[in-house]
Amino acid sequence: MTIHRFAFPTAIHFGPGARKLVGANLKAAGCDRPLIVTDRGLSGLPLLRNFVSELKDLQTCVFSGLQGNPVASQVMAGAAAYRAHGADAVVGFGGGAALDVAKAVALMATHPGEVLEYAWDHPQVRPIENPLPHFVALPTTAGTGSEVGRSSVVSEDDTHVKRIIFSPAILAKAVFADPELTLGLPPAITAATGMDALTHNVESYLSPAYHPLCDGIALEGVRIVARALPLVWKNATDLQARSDMLMGSMMGAIAFQKDLGAVHSCAHALSTVNDLHHGLANGVMIDHVMKFNREAALEKFRELERVIGTADFVSYLATLKKTIGIPARLSELRVRSEHIPRLVEVAEKDICHQTNPRPCTRADFERLFAAAL
């Protein structure tokens, strides 16, 4: 009989105003010199200034040296900022990229070498053996769910190939999921991150790996996101819909410890080759890959259709994309046919498609990218 291991350890403080509990959490952990890791886009906004002001009893330092898809040199710069400040804690504040970098900064604050030497597929992968500093996470988008994840995605500086550090050691000690932090998201970011959350839940559910706990979470995550995403796209200040999206995002990230699928392999390739936003890439590719997957998972597709209340899941996805402004085709994002060979090469090497419900060969990836073009 096969033995399976399950874990859901993250402490989550969820609801409007949760951010105001961070200071007390840090003090209780004996920390008074946190490094706040965020991105350049947030660094000058009132959202961050107001949060920092709420930590007035602490000696804070802000590191905002990242943008776009994070690369290894940004992590190492963050670790240098941690040491220069004499920090004793890391606070991740931002979207998935900022939270992924924050995890890696916490890792490199107490470990030698280069950050990508800790990626799971490095030929001489280094062990994570030292205690990490106290790390808490505050998401400002509802997409990746990185705040509850045990992985950090960091790209190589030169090739932009994504590498993954995966370990329970980098989990946040506490998450402060405050939907008020997401109220200012513009529609385009709301749509792209929302499609990321939906993709995580859908692909986790469809994965043939055994994890009934994740299946239940993923199905409920699909139901929540499907209901809330159109609402929050229409009304950016709908706090209930923002709350639902934040919960659906976390549920997707918890569920995908079960694994993902070919949508993510395609999205990782598009981020590497064309520098597309991860959630946007997932959003463009999801209906094309689901059409490919349907025959291999008919029973699960029927369950998805029951949960959402639709007769055809693939058609539902196409309609949803049109409703919230996600491009139907890659050509709308300046992806061209000459990019396909390199996209296929990266997607085929990506680990995510190994748990796709239907095996995905090199030729299949060629057809998928061509169909989405």
3-state secondary structure of 135: strand
What pLDDT, on a 0 to 100 scale, did the predictor assign at position 161?
Answer: 85
Q: List the structure tokens of 154.
A: 């960091």
Do 12-182 and 187-372 share a fold?
Answer: no
**pTM, full prediction:** 0.93
First to last CA, the chain: 45
Residue ranges per domain, the chain? 12-182, 187-372
Over residues 187-216, mean pLDDT: 96
Q: Note the CATH number of domain 12-182.
A: 3.40.50.1970
| DSSP count for the chain of H helices, then E strands | 14, 8
The arrangement of secondary structure in 187-372, i.e. its CATH architecture, is Up-down Bundle (1.20)
Rounded Cα distance, 271 and 338, in Å: 16
Over residues 77-102, mean pLDDT: 97
Task: Specify whether the CB–CB gap between 202 and 225 falls below 8 A.
Answer: no
Q: List the structure tokens of 293.
A: 């997957």
Over its C-alpha atoms, the chain yields an Rg (Å, rounded) of 20
What pLDDT, on a 0 to 100 scale, did the predictor assign at position 3?
Answer: 59
Give 21-60 pLDDT, tens digit per residue. 999 999 999 999 999 999 998 998 999 999 999 998 899 9
- Note the Cα 183 to chain centre separation in Å: 19
- Report whether pLDDT(5) > 80: no
What pLDDT, on a 0 to 100 scale, did the predictor assign at position 2?
Answer: 64
- Report whether pLDDT(6) > 60: no
